[in-house]
Amino acid sequence: MTMAGDRAVTSFDDWYVGVRPRLMRAITALVGDPGLAEDLCAEAFTRAFRRWPHVATEVRDPDAWVFTVAVNLARRSWRTRLRSPPTGVPAAQATTDRVRDVDLWRLVQALPRRQRQVVVLRYLGDLTEAAIADVLKTSPGAVSASLTKARAALRAGLTEGGSR
Amino acid sequence: VTNANADDLDHRLRALADDIAVADRSVQDTLTRGRRRVRRLRAAATGLAIVLVAAGTAAVLRMRPEEPLTTVGITPGPPSSTVVVPVTESILVRDADGWERNCLRIALGAEATEGCLTPGTTLWKVGDRYVVVGYGAMVVDGVEYRAPKGEETLAPLRPGQSFASVEGDSSGHCLDTAVLDALAAHDPTARAYFGLSCGADVQFAVVLERPHQDPPHTTRTIVLERIDGRWTVHGEPTEQLCPTLPPPGPANCDHIVSQRRARTSTTTN
């Protein structure tokens, strides 16, 4: 680790190791396709790597930055419906097959898109509300409101379903 | 709702993360995968084609990566009304992230637009005007823009969809000729409107201003509000476009927005 001004600069490798599991989980949950999620995360990290000196020293929150890139790529993949052929690198490094709390998982998947994004970024991506606001280009207040609505919807769904 | 219930829900939500298995992947493997993906997408984009779908007075122009560039196809759309929009050039642009991508220059009316549309963008021709809707983004001189609220309200269009069958809560309003008339009355010289964001009663239209050559202010956003059933244009923007990603260098969105505000002010005054 080095210092740039008063800011500690993590090496790309260290940063990658810390953020990748969170990013992979969140993007997998958002796109619902582990192989595509890995592709998107790989592209996001590749972009970060190419610009690492800038990202590491001038971007306020590199974690939010790479989440932003990945979420934008996910949006683009939804827009274009562009599905990628195999890359030659083993795919599907994340899976949701082992989710034990199936009731809650289904309810999360059924949330309106923005609420689902906020929940996934908060709990699977482990981002702060401020970082989520950065990623989704909205205000922290809007993120907080979406989280509140989402929690209420999840709670209601769990009650209706008699879960727990 | 008790705190215990809230805590329980939080705990269960956090526990979901533990259930999504993520295998270790080295930095090198990930970067290799990312580079291959980029190369693959770049190769696919060279096969862009334009498919024009006629639908009454409107036509849909859609770039389809899976079709060859040389194909300018007319797909059936009820009723038939053919408008051929020539592809003037296939170009490679560099986006805000320094990322190269393939785009097309297309002719809009008598002038070729300097910006280019990214794959997945749908361009509607309404009368003699062109409107980009859906999740489309616009690249102007290498910087990608999209309407800040457009993605909130619009669903992607598919080739062949007519106005009536457009998905989304109110995207049909974007194509309302009354909106276009209001825009045209506000700025008769503007020929292309990008990144319309649809709301039932408030919309944002991004007007492509070709006479200006500097990238950030080749577009400006105007606001339309429907009052008593009539669309009213509010001249000064209350929403601004931002690059999808922070551009290279020290500039950020605020920087560009402030630049554009200053220039827009100069333009309008």
CB-based burial of residue B174 (10 Å sphere; 0-12 exposed, 13-18 middle, 19+ buried)?
A: buried
CA-based nearest distance B38→chain A, Å: 7
* Average pLDDT across chain A, whole number: 79
Strand partners, B224: B203, B233
pTM for this predicted structure:
0.48
How many residues in chain A? 164
Instruction: List all residues of chain A from 105 to 134 with a beta carbon under 8 Å from chain B.
Output: 105, 108, 114, 119, 122-124, 126
Average pLDDT over chain B reads 44
Q: Looking at residues B7-24, what average pLDDT do you find?
A: 83
The answer on pLDDT for A149 being more than 60 is yes
A46 pLDDT higher than 70:
yes
Mutate to test the interface with A, among B20, B31, B157 (most CBs of A within 10 A): B20
Confirm or reject contact between B4 and chain A (CB < 8 A): no
Question: Looking at per-residue confidence, does B180 or B48 come out higher?
Answer: B180
- In chain B, which residues have their Cβ closer than 8 Å to the Cβ of A124? 16-17, 20
Decide if A51 touches B, using CB distance below 8 A.
yes
**Separation between Cα atoms, residue B177 and residue B184, nearest integer Å:** 10
Q: Is B210 exposed, middle or buried (0-12, 13-18, 19+ CB in 10 A)?
A: middle
Task: Average the pLDDT over A70-90 and give the result.
Answer: 53
Q: What is the per-residue pLDDT for B84?
A: 32
Per the listing, tokens 């809009």 go with B108
- Enumerate the β-bridge partners of residue B125: B59, B130
Percent above pLDDT 70 for chain B: 12
pLDDT of residue B23: 77
B37/A21 CB distance under 8 A: no
**What is the rounded average pLDDT of the residues A25-50?**
87
Name the residue with higher pLDDT: A137 or B64: A137
Closest CA to B258 of B234, B227, B231, B237: B237
Give the span between the Cα atoms of B135 and B218, in whole angstroms: 20
Q: Which of B33, B41, B159 is nearest to B102 (CA)?
A: B41
User: Residues of A numbered 64-93 whose beta carbons fall under 8 angstroms of chain B's beta carbons: which are they?
Assistant: 65, 68-69, 72, 75-76, 78-82, 84-85, 87-89, 93
* ipTM of the complex as predicted: 0.81
pLDDT for the residue numbered A48: 86
Give the model confidence (pLDDT) of B71-111 as tens digits. 222 222 222 222 333 344 444 444 443 333 444 444 433 33
**A145 and chain B: CB distance < 8 Å anywhere?**
no
Q: Check whether A50 has a pLDDT greater than 60.
A: yes
pLDDT in tens, A91-136: 333 455 667 788 888 888 888 888 999 999 999 999 999 999 888 8
The Cα–Cα gap between B106 and B85 comes to 7
- The whole-angstrom distance between A4's CA and the closest CA on chain B is 15
Q: DSSP assignment, residue B173?
A: G
